[in-house]
Structure 1
Amino acid sequence: MIVELTALHWIYVTFIVLIIGFMIMRRDTTIICIAGIFLIALVATGSLSHSVSSIFNSFSYAITELLSTILVISIIVAMSHTLTATGINDVMISPFRKLIRNPTLAYWTIGILMMVISWFFWPSPAVALLGAVLLPVAIRAGLPALGVAMAMNLFGHGIALSGDFVIQAAPKLTADAAGLPIQDVINASIPLVFIMGLVTTVTAFYFLKRDMKRGVLQVNSSVLSDSSDESPQQNNLLSLGQKRFFAILVPLLFAADVAAMTILDLTGGDATALIGGTSILILLLITLTSHKNKGLEQTTQYLIEGFQFGFKVFGPVIPIAAFFYLGDSGFTKIIGEYLPKASHGIVNDLGVALASIVPLSKAVGAVTLTTVGAITGLDGSGFSGISLAGSIAALFATAIGKGAATLTALGQISAIWVGGGVLVPWALIPAAAICKVDPFELARRNLVPVIIGLVVTTIVAMFLI
């Protein structure tokens, strides 16, 4: 099939290169994305007013596409605030303190708990829910604070966030950019997520134990001076019996959600809606019970805090997503019917053209997606560039002839492991702050295990394409 590349295609490619370049330089890409949207619209329509309107329309389209994701994350964060403020999170986690008897058990118990909690609450709230309660216990068991921070990073911001199987924010972004069903990307990511997670966490644990044995890493008990086993926050809001009741009820409700997803085959937006609705009910129930007469006002306050967090996280994502939606079906909805009649979308056209010029192999495609994902993660968001990874995955898959879902999942995993809170120092601040360690030292500790994990995962992906 012969594809005629137009000025629109070349402008799109030029701005992809510019976006990658600015990310490498650790500069913000919002203005670049807006300029790209404007120029593509101007060349397509020849109308200045239409081009200016297309900027707003692209933002509106991106927000519409991402709204359910932004909502569910905001609601979950709001709910996590109620759990922390009432001390329910302390009671939920307290049974696991008995498991933490030595450094090895501390690392794996905290890591696995962080992973499970992050699947339902997202890593940032999970750090607050888990870290303050289990950090003193882990230190008394002999695990340095840096080891606690590593466990929370690798299992939460790494394994849980890169797969994002429950909330499905990450696969939603990459699947949309690649023009794939969200479930295809999730299914393709499952083996890659767990291979990456297993290799990285085991490697990190090996280096951690080695340096503890050599005396390079030592337990700093001064961290305990500002920490206690009990959360100081408003524990008088609920009685111990009420806390125990909610500590059992909350996991049971989310377990019921997972069972419903499996039995009713709920995926994508339906699964997100179920999690979000359950979170709202939990928020209302706990807030009204704990704050009593002030429950109505406090519910609104928790929701405001949640929405502030949600839009702060996704604020940088919206302009980038708006640009990359132009590469597929979003072009027609944002700008109009201005592509050539034979076009199947800018990204698909570029993929076909690339295949006719340079036959791409599985290996080249896999290495490229890992590299692109890592580059897009350098801004410290992890999410802002995964639309780019999905877009390039679609382009390469068209050129190779298969493997779109695997390449998309690989780019997603690479971007989030680098930028989602594992390698970029300014993305590590929440975990580093709660564990009272240097974020740059934490990033240095995570570096080698993550690189080894990415290499192994990329090689495995070559065989899965």
Structure 2
Amino acid sequence: MEVVLTSMHYIYLLFIIIIIAFMVMKKDTTLVSIIGVFVLGLLGTSSVYKALMGIFNGLIYATKELMPTIFIISVITAMSKVLMASGINEAMISPFKRFIKNYDMAYWVIGIVMMIISWFFWPSPAVALIGAIFLPIGKKAGLPAIGVAMAMNLFGHGIALSTDYIIQAAPKLTSDAAGISVGEVMRASIPLTIVMGLVTTITAFILLKKEIKNGVYKDELENAKEDYLEENKLDVNFSSRTKNLLALMMLVLFAADIAIMYKAKLQGGDATALIGGTALVILAVIGALAYKKAVFEKMTAHMVEGLQFGFRIFGVVIPIAAFFYLGDSAILDIFGKVLPEASKGIVNDLGLALASIVPVNATVSSITLTAVGAITGLDGSGFSGIPLVGSVARLFSTGLGSGTATLTALGQISGIWIGGGTLIPWAVIPAAAMCGVDPFELTRKNLKPVVIGLIATTIAAIFFI
């Protein structure tokens, strides 16, 4: 079928290139995205005032699409505040102390626990939840602070955040842009995540173990102190029995959520709503027990902190999402029928056109998605650019005739591993700060394992398309 490309198609493609260029230069893409929406509106409607209205309506459209994600992150962050204030976070982690006898076990136990908790709380709150407990335990077992930071960072900001199986914020963004369901992206990401996770974490451990054996961290480990816990003063003094019971209650409730999601086949927004409702109940129950008469004021304060965190993280996503949503059906909602009658959307049209003039194959597509994901992650957000990888994946898969979910998952993994993040200094600050290491040093340690992992994952993706 012959595809009719209009000036809107070429302008859309041009702005994608400009946005990628800005990301490479580590420049903010908000203004470029807003200009892109305006120019597309001006071309489509030939009206300045409609184009101006389109900017605002585009932001509203993107915000409505992202609001469940922003709220779930805000709610979980608010819940994490009361857990830290009451010491329940320590009760959740303390059973793992008995398993950490040497630095080998320390690396893997810290990493796996970080990954599991990050699926529920996201990595930044998870770092705060478990870092204070595991850092002294890890150092006592012979794992240097940089090793603890690497374990938390690779398993948390790497594996957990790039998959986001519980909260489903990342797959929601990419699946929307790719025009497929959240479940498809998540299923396609499983084999790729196994390859990326195993290759990266094993490579990092081998390199770290070599340095430990060569005595690189000898002085640090000899002077390891266990005074980190004393720095974390609690606002509420629960008894150990109460903390353990409340920690168990949390685990039971979230385990029940997982069972319900599986049995009722809840995904995307429904799964997010279940987790969010549970988190609010936990916040209310623990808050009431901890703060008593002051619970109303304290809960409000924690909710405000959570919302501030959520909008700070996702504020950069909204303008760029508004632009990329125009590549699909959102353009009808925002500007009306401004494309040719036979158009299937800007991205689909470009994909069909590309397929007719460029030889597209699985190898080229996989390498391109990894590269685009990596570039979008250069801003240190990880999330601001993943709508782009969904759109690009859709474009290439249209030419291939298959592989949308695999290419989308690959771009998502690449973008978030790098920008979400393990290779951008300002993205690793939570783990680096918690462990008292230089963020630039942490990114240098992560560089080789992550690059090797991305190469292996890209090769694997070629065979799954």
Normalising by structure 2, we get a TM-score of: 0.98
Report the Cα distance in structure 2 between the residues aligned to 1:88 and 1:267, rounded to whole angstroms: 29
Equivalent AA in structure 2 for residue 381 of structure 1: S
| Residue 47 (structure 2) aligns with | 47
| Residue 195 (structure 1) aligns with | 195
Moved more, 342-351 or 208-217: 208-217
Change (3 A) 1:40 1:12: same
Report the Cα distance in structure 2 between the residues aligned to 1:54 and 1:235, rounded to whole angstroms: 48
Report the Cα distance in structure 2 between the residues aligned to 1:75 and 1:241, rounded to whole angstroms: 26
Change (3 A) 1:252 1:4: same
Equivalent AA in structure 1 for residue 166 of structure 2: V
Report the Cα distance in structure 2 between the residues aligned to 1:246 and 1:110, rounded to whole angstroms: 22
| Residue 144 (structure 2) aligns with | 144
| Residue 359 (structure 2) aligns with | 359
* 1:420-459 matched pairs, under 5 angstroms: 420-459=420-459
Report the Cα distance in structure 1 between the residues aligned to 2:153 and 2:27, rounded to whole angstroms: 24
Encode CA deviations 1:224-278: one digit per residue, 9 max, x unaligned: 5584346632264322221111111111110110011111111111111100000
Question: Once the 2 structures are TM-superposed, how far is the Cα of residue 195 of structure 1 from its aligned partner?
Answer: 1.2
| Residue 182 (structure 1) aligns with | 182
| Residue 8 (structure 2) aligns with | 8
Encode CA deviations 1:73-120: one digit per residue, 9 max, x unaligned: 100000011100100001111110111111001000000000000000
Instruction: Report if aligned partners of 1:62, 1:318 keep a CA contact under 8 Å in 2.
Output: yes
Question: Once the 2 structures are TM-superposed, how far is the Cα of residue 400 of structure 1 from its aligned partner?
Answer: 1.1
| Residue 133 (structure 2) aligns with | 133
| Residue 163 (structure 1) aligns with | 163
Instruction: Report if aligned partners of 1:359, 1:400 keep a CA contact under 8 Å in 2.
Output: no
Encode CA deviations 1:404-423: one digit per residue, 9 max, x unaligned: 01000000000000000211
Equivalent AA in structure 2 for residue 179 of structure 1: G
Report the Cα distance in structure 1 between the residues aligned to 2:330 and 2:226, rounded to whole angstroms: 51
Encode CA deviations 1:25-62: one digit per residue, 9 max, x unaligned: 00101000000000000000000000000000000000
The 3-state SS of whatever aligns with 1:328 is coil
Report the Cα distance in structure 2 between the residues aligned to 1:268 and 1:227, rounded to whole angstroms: 42
Equivalent AA in structure 2 for residue 326 of structure 1: L
Question: Once the 2 structures are TM-superposed, how far is the Cα of residue 342 of structure 1 from its aligned partner?
Answer: 0.7
| Residue 70 (structure 1) aligns with | 70
Equivalent AA in structure 2 for residue 88 of structure 1: I
| Residue 390 (structure 2) aligns with | 390
Instruction: Report if aligned partners of 2:370, 2:458 keep a CA contact under 8 Å in 1.
Output: yes
Report the Cα distance in structure 2 between the residues aligned to 1:373 and 1:124, rounded to whole angstroms: 21
Report the Cα distance in structure 2 between the residues aligned to 1:345 and 1:227, rounded to whole angstroms: 59
Instruction: Report if aligned partners of 1:192, 1:461 keep a CA contact under 8 Å in 2.
Output: yes
Report the Cα distance in structure 2 between the residues aligned to 1:212 and 1:343, rounded to whole angstroms: 59
* 1:334-413 matched pairs, under 5 angstroms: 334-413=334-413
Question: Once the 2 structures are TM-superposed, how far is the Cα of residue 198 of structure 1 from its aligned partner?
Answer: 0.7
Percent pairwise identity: 58
Equivalent AA in structure 1 for residue 174 of structure 2: T
Matched pairs, number: 465
Structure 1: 5+ residue runs without aligned partners?
none
| Residue 316 (structure 2) aligns with | 316
Encode CA deviations 1:426-459: one digit per residue, 9 max, x unaligned: 1011100110001111000000000110000000
Report the Cα distance in structure 2 between the residues aligned to 1:265 and 1:348, rounded to whole angstroms: 29
| Residue 106 (structure 1) aligns with | 106
The 3-state SS of whatever aligns with 2:228 is coil
Question: Once the 2 structures are TM-superposed, how far is the Cα of residue 68 of structure 1 from its aligned partner?
Answer: 0.5
Moved more, 415-424 or 225-234: 225-234
Change (3 A) 1:218 1:55: farther
The 3-state SS of whatever aligns with 2:360 is coil
The 3-state SS of whatever aligns with 2:421 is coil
| Residue 248 (structure 2) aligns with | 248
Report the Cα distance in structure 2 between the residues aligned to 1:175 and 1:404, rounded to whole angstroms: 9
| Residue 23 (structure 1) aligns with | 23
Report the Cα distance in structure 1 between the residues aligned to 2:351 and 2:411, rounded to whole angstroms: 17
Encode CA deviations 1:265-322: one digit per residue, 9 max, x unaligned: 1111111110000000000000011000101111111100000000000000000100
Encode CA deviations 1:359-382: one digit per residue, 9 max, x unaligned: 201000000000000000000000
Instruction: Report if aligned partners of 1:426, 1:439 keep a CA contact under 8 Å in 2.
Output: yes
Normalising by structure 1, we get a TM-score of: 0.98
Report the Cα distance in structure 2 between the residues aligned to 1:358 and 1:236, rounded to whole angstroms: 64
Give the CA RMSD over aligned residues: 1.2
Encode CA deviations 1:318-356: one digit per residue, 9 max, x unaligned: 001000000001111111111110100000000000000
Structure 2: 5+ residue runs without aligned partners?
none
Instruction: Report if aligned partners of 1:90, 1:230 keep a CA contact under 8 Å in 2.
Output: no
Equivalent AA in structure 2 for residue 447 of structure 1: L
Report the Cα distance in structure 1 between the residues aligned to 2:320 and 2:231, rounded to whole angstroms: 39
